Structure 1
Amino acid sequence: MTAPSWIAVDAMGGDKGLSVMLAGVAQARRRFEDFRFLLVGDEAAIREGLSAHPGLTANAEIVHAPDRVGAEDKPSQAIRRARTTSMGVAIDLVKQGRAAAAVSSGNTGAMMAMAKLALRTLPGIDRPALAAPLPTLGDNDVIMLDLGANTEVDARNLVQFAVMGAVYARAILDLETPRVALLNIGSEDQKGTDVIRDAAQTLRNATGLPMRFDGFVEGDRLSRGDVDVIVCDGFSGNIALKTAEGTARFVADLLKRAFSSSVRSKIGFLISRPATELLRHHLDPNVHNGAVFLGLNGIVVKSHGGATELGVATAISNAAKMVRADLTRRIAQDLATITPAEAA
């Protein structure tokens, strides 16, 4: 029997408090019974919180960290306090080899800075990228990166993002040959900047990669399910992500207002409730929670700060899937198949 894998969880990082973080860990443990958890934060508070989760207590250890990273903390401030904060200690556990992955719902900028400093990037990776699954009309989510880690990129970065995103899609979505596309202002070959066109040419010429490059995709096709991985710079990706989240909330609020506008509409809501519940579940960010910093020498997953118990469990579950898939090694392996001339 193989030894259990450990996941370090920043128990103090969520906006909704320690109780929600622990409930999410407990739910994830029921999904992945072969994993164990290092709960990082205030030892006394965590020990008290564990009294509500007897099934988790036997599968977890507490690692004390007296401090936490606040939402207002700048990355430079967080780095200086990395050894005492729950986020910094959780990431350091991955560096030490005590944990196979770290999960936090804390400050994204601080987490990115600490993870990059502690773990460094893989050979052949210039910059890590933030990747996350987004809902689509297809059978699977779409993996999108970068979502904000790099506001300016070159063609080499985009090629690296494409390779990493394809590995992630194979691990999380269980796809043998993911369809990869670059986000662009048009689908024609001549559209876009020199950087995007150069990256596209490199990906067309690359051989031996377990992925299919499908060219360009426009912003109005993000959720169609036509591709499995969408690659872009962090500036465009973050705007696209926030626009999609805002649109989802707009649709949900519009439906809520429409169904409460009259007695007839309320009756219509009762009739259509199964369909609206399905829509609500499909658009729920907690179902798709968990962004990963791809390209580091270790797995670090960012959960949404306002994640519910389900959202925390989803983020941890994604981390467990990446550990099982040996994601870091597979990224390095796929990058090695691109020749220096192709990657330049």
Structure 2
Amino acid sequence: MKSIIKTVLLLLGGISFITACSDDRDGNPTILHPTTFALETPSYASSTITLSKAEPLALSWQQPDFGYPAKVNYQIQVSLTGKFTTSLKEAAKGGTADFNELTTVYFSKNVELAASELAQALQDLGGWTKDNVPAKQKVYVRIKAGYPNVDTLYSNSIELNVVPYYIEPQQVPEEPDAELYFTGSKFGWGTWNQLVPVKETVGKNDEATPTFWLVVYFDADEEFKFAPQAGWGNDFGYNDVKITDNAGASPSNANGNIKIGKAGWYLLVVTNDGTKRTISFEQPKVYLQGPTIGNWDCKPENLFTVPTTATGNFVSPAFVASDVVRMCVKLNGFDWWRTEFVVDANGAISYRGNGVEQSDVAVSVGKRCYLNFSTGKGEYK
């Protein structure tokens, strides 16, 4: 009898275990993978929206059906073509952007988009300046939904008609730059080139505005951006700076990159005082200084000749004496020795920068200095 009772209890326990497992499985949802979701067309889509006067624009969409309530991240994307193939961020590394993704992340399916935020996104995408903002613009809007580690999908797009307006660029770098680099289309958006600091302008105890420079050859239509380190992050371009062109470079906006209009050699100068950055294109004037030219005044007769090609040499006047050679570029507001450099014993162009004073290099009367800024090499002959 005890054996029968034990057997019955074991059977009942097994049935309970099977039932419990079945209940557990029934409680675990099956994750679905939707391919799209619906963005609703707002009532104001039938009229033209003047963004400079508009109230926040209400947008609503349906939550993507993942099979259960999921915490989804949403971002707004805008396009001037409706194609949504290449983002402005992607185009910064090469290509042409046809949409811009706004940075604000939402967790609700009912939001209000500030008209100014939309205006800024369109301005960045279109590369509009103060003088070429269109009178009217057709805009396409869609929503990106991201379910972390599961799916990313996009809504349908809706069409809006807007009157854009120009927003002045904000000059708000985080801190004065300690170093500065640039990369661009010529370098596959991967090789970073360091600019030279003007001596005693970089560092915690320096009172002058951090200033950097470089003699560089730009091709026509070449695009580039800057960063305070040799890599992406806190990078900045046309929309983030004030640009001065004193050399006929004709820079323009290309998806937030700086695009060169006229090929040639330029003296590139960048400053950052912690509240704004400025970029100046100057004439590439390189001067011989001191006893080997007979004066310390950066006179016209001290100038190196400027090559016409990217691979050409800057050539100094003939040395008038056998002595220690000195040379520089001259920046407004700075003594010449703050931007001094020399061809060292290894044949490299060695910049004084913010380092220690360089070793003397003696040269012979009648010879000249040849500088190749593209290779970073030079020689006396």
The two structures have a TM-score, normalised by structure 2, of: 0.20
The two structures have a TM-score, normalised by structure 1, of: 0.21
Q: Relative contact order (C-alpha < 8 Å, sep 6+): which is higher?
A: 1
Structure number having the greater helix percentage? 1
